[in-house]
Amino acid sequence: MGPRVVIVGAAGQLGSALVTELQHGWTVVPLTRRDLDVTHAGAAATLAALAPDVIINTTAWNDVDGAEDDPAAAMLVNRDGAARLAEAAAASGAACVHYSTDFVFDGRAATPYAEDAVRTPLSAYGRSKAAGEDAVLRAPRAYVLRLSSVFGGRPGEGAGGRSTIDRITDALCEGREVRAFADRTVSPSYTADVARATREVLERRLPYGTYHCVSTGYTTWHVLAGEISRRLGIPGRILATATGAVTLRAPRPQFCALSNARLAAAGIAMPTWEDALARPLAQRAATASARGVEL
């Protein structure tokens, strides 16, 4: 049997992609939120008792605006929950993989952020994720993989369970108008690519630390929506919108492209965002065709 990996949050979009990726060659122990509450004081002991070789944490408080209303709740999951998993990894001698976000940066850069760029989060959510990074990296064998605009997989357990890219695609397919930010730049992360890269990070035993696990290149949400429309052959109604024109409780970082050069230097190539986007869209079109329905 292969290494024993415990995946926390296994029913979510990324968690389910990791289960699929690692089920061949690894001994996978999938834990949903119903199986393990990372905010519970006994979570670390529960995990350590499973004798893991690797603990992968995909749980998070992802309600960016909600964190402004309840920052303590966001910290409870994103900092304290992450700390418990790192504690369990340290106690059992396991490696720990934790996922973070581009929201730890302020978005005021002009070039893609490297892993060692200064973190200056604008929101309570971003601050809670930065605190989670610090908690995890105290473990002796820890990886923090930063993601951006995650998409793909199936709906998770959290509120909505649909990514922004999924929602844009749904709206275009249903003929609804799409308002997309023309001044917010991201490097999207496709769950299947993140899962593959995570496996390679572990199998190659890369140096512990922080890596940006995002697609190669970057785009605005407006351009991305246009690419979805083009790929699906749908003449969508896409309106360019400025972030300042929308009332949001939490400020969004505007230029949050991330550089994945550190992963590339280690031999782990991430596809372009266009390629990452094309694969699930092609699968969606094929599924619709097989069912005899229009997109």
Residues designated as active site: 125
Backbone torsion region of residue 236, taken as left when φ is above 0, otherwise alpha when ψ lies between -120 and 50, otherwise beta: beta
Helix runs in 24-163, H state only: 43-48, 64-69, 71-75, 82-92, 124-136
Q: Would residue 266 be called left, alpha or beta, if left means φ above 0 and alpha means ψ between -120 and 50 degrees?
A: alpha
Name the residue among 100, 111, 109 with its Cα closest to residue 58. Answer: 100
CB 135 within 8 A of CB 83: yes
Cα-based distances in Å from 178 to 175, 237, 238, 272: 9, 6, 5, 23
Dihedrals φ, ψ of 60, to 5°?
-170, 155
Measured over the CA atoms of residue 150, residue 151, residue 156 and residue 158, the dihedral's sign is positive
What whole-number distance in Å separates Cα of residue 216 and Cα of residue 197? 13
